[in-house]
Amino acid sequence: MKIAVVGVTGLVGSVILKVLEEYNMTDCTLLPVASERSIGKNIVFNNRSYSVLSIKEALEAKPSIAIFSAGSNVSLSYAPLFAEKGTFVIDNSSAWRMKADIPLIVPEINASLLKSSNKIIANPNCSTIQLVMVLHPLHQLFTIKRVVVSTYQSVTGTGVLAVEQLMCERRQMKCQQVYPHPIDLNVLPHGGNFEENGYTSEEMKLVNETRKILSDNSIELTSTVVRVPVKGGHSESVNIEFEEYFNLTDIYSALEKTPGICIIDNPYENQYPMPLYAEGKNEVFVGRVRRDFSRENSLNLWIVADNLRKGAATNAVQIARYLIEKKWIK
């Protein structure tokens, strides 16, 4: 079995290799793909050295699975070409997410929607994944009416140049500026591009992708995306209004039973999820669970996850593993 990783030298690409090893998906031939400036460089996977290929070389090799993490333009240009050759494409960009005929998958929630004919599969936005991991079990129990979410997003979600900007500013060095303002010792209420409705593209991803994954367009959802000077992961402050009354014990029980969720919620001992400790982990961490006394049938909670892992690489590898388990890979 051949697995291509497109964008292998990027932040997400490098984590994909780690997760493939951790999931024991090493019985394969790796096709590492990157931009022209990286062709010929060596990548180590499963204690073996591989040379970086061009995307056209990988296409000619006809991989069974191709995990794309190289941006929307690359995905729009090449994902259909790989699909035509029978390759399952798992795409981390926003290119295919809202296409009606393309499944948008979080395996713990809706992997059952996949069919062997789905050659292009969309990986959701990083902030969306950790949000729906929590919303899904609660929606099944109490029916969600409205969600208000504010995200506090790591610079790693922007990319390696954003990480470099943060670290350069911290050291008081000059470097390329990715953000329109300093990010160190600052927060930016700005993620993606501003749209005509006043929201950013990142904020609208949270709205639209959540509804698609939960298969419910009736959910009212509003969001604010904030970029913060951290590297470990994304955090979310979430307010949920349900259609019916709930007990907190039922909330905890539903979350505890959900694979991939870890509850850390003992605030009196200063125990709650933080990106510093979520970094490098695949779980979605939940804490500060409490009733909203200002609004009927409403709940507040705090969600943290490593955006490079469950928010991108881990979710993609989980999809790949599902395809293999279904024996759709020839």
- Residue 232's pLDDT is 86
- Residue 23's pLDDT is 93
Domain with CATH 3.40.50.720 in the chain: 2-124+312-325
How does pLDDT run across 218-247, given as a tens digit for each residue? 999 999 999 999 998 999 999 999 999 999
Query: Quick check: helix, strand or coil at residue 27?
Result: coil
CATH of domain 2-124+312-325: 3.40.50.720
- Tokens 């499944």, located at residue: 103
- Is a pLDDT exceeding 80 seen at residue 330? no
Measured CA to CA, the distance from residue 183 to residue 179 in angstroms comes to: 7
Q: Would you call 126 a catalytic residue per the annotation?
A: yes
Measured CA to CA, the distance from residue 126 to residue 17 in angstroms comes to: 18
- Residue 59's pLDDT is 98
The one catalytic residue in 28, 126, 136, 262 is 126
How does pLDDT run across 44-70, given as a tens digit for each residue? 999 999 999 999 999 999 999 999 999
- Residue 296's pLDDT is 96
Domain with CATH 3.30.360.10 in the chain: 127-307
Q: Would you call 175 a catalytic residue per the annotation?
A: no
- CATH architecture designation of domain 127-307: 2-Layer Sandwich (3.30)
What is the pLDDT averaged over residues 24-44? 92
The one catalytic residue in 28, 136, 139, 234 is 234
- Residue 27's pLDDT is 85
How does pLDDT run across 146-196, given as a tens digit for each residue? 999 999 999 999 999 999 999 999 999 988 999 999 999 999 999 999 999
Q: What is the pTM of this model?
A: 0.96
Amino acid at 64: S
Residues 6 or more apart in contact with residue 246 via CB below 8 angstroms: 141, 142, 297, 299
Measured CA to CA, the distance from residue 227 to residue 187 in angstroms comes to: 6
- Is a pLDDT exceeding 80 seen at residue 138? yes
